[in-house]
Amino acid sequence: MKVLVTGGAGFIASHIVDRYIADGHDVAIIDDLSSGKKENINPKAILYRLDIRDEGIDEVFGKERPDIVNHHAAQMDVRRSVSDPMFDADVNISGTLNILENCVRHGVKRFIFASTGGAIYGEQDYFPADEAHPERPLSPYGISKLAVEKYLFYYKAVHGLDYIALRYSNVYGPRQNPHGEAGVVAIFTGKLLRGEQPVINGDGAQSRDFVFVDDVADANMRALESAETGVFNIGTAVETDINLLFKTLVDIAGADCKAAHGPAKEGEQLRSVIDYKRAEELLGWRPAVSFDGGLKETVKFFKEK
């Protein structure tokens, strides 16, 4: 099949591109390289350097005629979404609508969307959260992802565009940016390997559901091959607090570093963990990489880099 992957030079989507190509699919990438990197791009993929809001997207669809669109291009910084919600909506909602309109215009069969499992549910009523949990996003980023899910329902009902939305928990692994605001695993790993002091926000008791990027790529492979529709949590159903994450990374990296705590981040979610039973039952997906195993792969990648 011909697959068009937006954001395909980025951390998560570049792994998905690799998986699609390894499985024999033809892949084209749309990425403006604002956060993605050329070094992440599989040499067998075609790159179109474009913003998803550009009119030139129509020309790409016309030339490539994709069967499937996998949409990962996004404004993904939660804190930037809070400081500039109009920019977040412009990229994540208007940009996605530009892609969706082109899907309809050019006869795309299926749309795979990278959504969020942590930011959509907000502070949870129960743990782990399944897909029926109330959706109470506490950031414009979470709101924009939820809005797109609603648009996907509309495009299927009105235009017949089949879709699947994968609600990721906290994805980590090789190629994640260690210098950004998001991605605590990469940030801590980068600092430890450079001999710098990572700072834990608040008391470090806040918990997250960490899922390895190879498992996420596998979920996207299954989403490509499946006829299922709707939303699916992609996580591990295991809570890990930031203090334990720090200790484990120090041990793996062999760093001589003690925990240091800074002020808590205002509005930071306290607990986040999602249930993957629906993905297991309908997609045949479950996380395969252990927390320790994934962290070892991540540290190894950053050491070699």
Told to judge if 141 belongs to the known catalytic residues of this protein, a careful annotator would answer yes
What three-state secondary structure class fits 14? helix
Cis-peptide, bond into residue 128, ω within 30° of zero: yes
Return d(Cα 293, Cα 295) in angstroms, integer: 5
β-strand pairing of 230-234 with 110-116: unpaired
3-state helix, strand, coil in the chain (%, to 5): 45, 15, 40
In the block, tokens 């720090």 appear at 246
Name the active-site residue from 121, 141, 155, 163: 141
| Three-state SS sequence of 187-245 | HHHHHHHCCCCCCEECCCCCEECEEEHHHHHHHHHHHHHCCCCEEEEECCCCCEEHHHH
CB 229 within 8 A of CB 162: yes
- Determine the Cα–Cα distance for residues 116 and 101; give it in Å rounded to an integer: 22
Q: Angle 274-280-208 (CA atoms, 0-180°, nearest 5)?
A: 20
CA–CA separation, 68 and 61 (whole Å): 11
Residue 111's SS3 state is strand
CB atoms inside a 10 Å sphere around CB 208: 22
Instruction: List active site positions.
Output: 141
